[in-house]
């Protein structure tokens, strides 16, 4: 699921403060340094991944192109900073309406979409998996009591009861948040208009607001200043509030709508039939490619031009696999997306999506095992719910339903550019999360040859995928299992450092949030790869 990234907890905190009439005068939140995820801590005092420093170690060394599959919402393959790094299927002839390479997918020149049909129509919005599961079990058990349930259906009935509680809580939260954020947006817009009028400017900055003399300003201006400064401190603006309002409207009208079924109307397949592989279309951009385009730029935006942003990896080919709607992705599509990418040569997959339920988890597990067998590294975002995924699972994950784990999976949490600060939204887990990576205010590509800052573990994951691709391109013989171990072993570790607990109060040792207590680092990864090569470990 691709998500709006101001967490509910942030808005709730704001609303609680506003209701208590606390007009905090904390300093305005500092802005993230440009391109901070590529910077180096010792040189720049920012916990980036030391990308440029890593390339210093690699001077004079030949690189090899690495295919990185991006399973996401779609990618703007014509973006000025991406078009040179988009994968092209060498065996497919564009536009001839034939399956030239015999892989079962017609005209898959740059990848494939499992969210479209042969007529060119595409799924954009989808319901939550919680909604789909609740609707499915409601048909079986609605109106029945435990006394009515046969012994062989007791477990299913218990599951339905759990779904019902979770669904009702989610629906209630959505019902509460919609008017609150609508009011917050209205107040913010009114405050913006007030300050524009006061300053006699069509636009203004946070610095302009901070310089207003409150001793001479009237009550209306003072209130507007308070509203805007609170927004600066909490990290939101009018654009993000509008996106938040749109998010909650979509959640209420579609994601929690038990009758919504875009799948049936557009694709017409059986989403539970995971043995079905040949559906979709070659529209890899789709109706909303913002999320996937941003992810792709972090991994490998052209480093040789003077445009926009530099991706982490300098020799990649981005394979586009569209499987993530605005809503929860289907397990069938995820499994097929992994298999498609593996079969067509991807060496690394980035998976910046997740959900709370996985009814066809075994199909996804089999696809992960297939990727493991073929030597493909999987990099996955831990999620943005500020929760401990050791206790509340986020799917997909590396724990197989039938037991065991693969050796090719890396789970990624998000850190901020600010010293010793974990992203407030990031999921974590002493067992389930491997490492942390930059994931707050990352500047990257978005559709239309534009650029934008976004937050999320969705942004942290491609930083790791980019580092993995960087290493793989200069050390092509390294295996997926070795690459995973190398990235984990080379993390910059500070397990005893006290950091904020995502979604909670107080501090916690950083080592309690992942199994390494570390952050990914390109320089340290390359340094270790050189040592392994010298020792004959990479052959």
Provide the annotated active-site residues: 72, 291, 458
Cβ neighbour number for residue 145 with a 10 Å cutoff? 8
- Contacts of residue 506, Cβ cutoff 8 Å, sequence gap at least 6: 500
Ramachandran region of residue 317, left (φ > 0), alpha (ψ -120 to 50) or beta? beta
**What CA–CA distance (Å, rounded) separates 78 from 337?**
22
Pairing of strands 492-493, 450-454: unpaired
CA 273 to chain centre: 27
What is the phi/psi pair of residue 9, to 5°?
-60, -35
**What CA–CA distance (Å, rounded) separates 494 from 471?**
23
> Looking at residue 381, what DSSP letter applies?
E
Cα 318 to Cα 114, 310, 323: the distances in Å are: 17, 15, 15
**What CA–CA distance (Å, rounded) separates 215 from 56?**
54
Closest CA to 436 of 360, 498, 509, 520: 520
Residue 72, strand partner residues: 322
Q: What is the per-residue DSSP string for 277-292?
A: ----BS--S-S--HHH
Pairing of strands 377-381, 409-415: parallel
Cα 403 to Cα 6, 223, 374, 383, 461: the distances in Å are: 35, 57, 20, 22, 25
What is the phi/psi pair of residue 493, to 5°?
-100, 135
- What is the Cβ-side half-sphere exposure of residue 130, based on CA atoms within 13 angstroms? 21
- Contacts of residue 179, Cβ cutoff 8 Å, sequence gap at least 6: none
Is the bond into 380 cis (omega within 30 degrees of 0)? no
**Could you tell me if 395 and 354 are in contact, meaning their C-beta atoms sit under 8 angstroms apart?**
yes
């Amino acid at each position: 699921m691709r998500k709006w990234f101001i967490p509910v907890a942030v808005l709730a905190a704001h609303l609680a403060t506003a209701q208590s009439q606390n007009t905090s005068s904390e300093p305005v939140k500092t802005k993230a340094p440009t391109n901070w995820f590529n910077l180096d801590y010792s040189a720049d005092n920012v916990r980036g991944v030391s990308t440029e420093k890593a390339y210093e170690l690699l001077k004079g060394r030949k690189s090899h192109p690495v295919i990185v599959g991006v399973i996401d919402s779609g990618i703007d393959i014509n973006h000025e900073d991406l078009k040179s790094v988009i994968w092209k299927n060498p065996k497919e002839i564009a536009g001839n309406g034939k399956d030239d390479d015999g892989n079962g997918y017609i005209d898959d020149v740059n990848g494939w979409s499992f969210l479209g049909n042969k007529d060119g129509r595409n799924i954009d919005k989808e319901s939550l998996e919680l909604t789909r599961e609740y609707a499915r079990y409601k048909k079986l058990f609605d109106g029945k009591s435990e006394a009515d349930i046969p012994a062989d259906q007791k477990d299913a009935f218990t599951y339905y009861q759990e779904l019902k509680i979770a669904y009702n809580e989610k629906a209630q939260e959505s019902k509460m948040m919609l008017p609150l954020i609508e009011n917050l947006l209205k107040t913010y817009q009114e405050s913006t208009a007030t300050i524009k009028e006061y300053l006699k400017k069509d636009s203004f900055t946070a610095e302009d607001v901070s310089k207003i003399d409150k001793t001479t300003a009237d009550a209306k201006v003072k209130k507007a200043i308070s509203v805007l400064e609170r927004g600066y401190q909490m990290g939101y603006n009018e654009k993000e509030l509008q996106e938040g309002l749109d998010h909650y409207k979509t959640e209420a009208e579609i994601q929690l709508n038990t009758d919504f079924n875009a799948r049936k109307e557009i694709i017409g397949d059986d989403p539970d039939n995971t043995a079905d592989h040949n559906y979709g279309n070659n529209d890899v951009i789709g109706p909303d490619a913002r999320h996937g385009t941003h992810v792709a730029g972090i991994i490998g935006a052209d480093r040789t031009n003077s445009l926009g942003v530099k991706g982490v990896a300098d020799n990649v080919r981005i394979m586009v696999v569209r499987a993530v709607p605005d809503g929860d992705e289907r397990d069938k599509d995820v499994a097929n997306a992994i298999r498609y990418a593996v079969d067509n040569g991807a060496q690394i997959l980035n998976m910046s999506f997740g959900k709370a339920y996985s009814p066809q988890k075994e199909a996804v597990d089999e696809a992960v095992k297939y990727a493991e067998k073929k030597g493909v590294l999987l990099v996955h975002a831990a999620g943005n719910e500020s929760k401990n995924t050791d206790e509340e699972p986020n799917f997909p994950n590396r724990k197989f339903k039938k037991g065991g784990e693969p050796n090719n999976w890396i789970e990624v949490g998000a850190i901020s550019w600010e010293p010793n600060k974990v992203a407030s939204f990031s999921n974590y887990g002493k067992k389930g999360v491997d490492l942390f990576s930059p994931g707050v205010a990352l500047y990257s590509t978005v559709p239309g040859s534009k650029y934008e800052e976004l937050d999320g573990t969705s942004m942290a994951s491609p930083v790791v995928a980019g580092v993995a691709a960087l290493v793989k391109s200069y050390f092509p013989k390294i295996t997926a299992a070795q690459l995973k171990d190398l990235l984990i072993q080379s993390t910059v570790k500070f397990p005893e450092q006290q950091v904020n607990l995502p979604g909670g109060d107080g501090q916690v040792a950083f080592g309690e949030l992942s199994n390494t207590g570390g952050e990914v680092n390109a320089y340290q990864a390359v340094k270790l790869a050189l040592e392994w090569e010298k020792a004959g470990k990479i052959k």
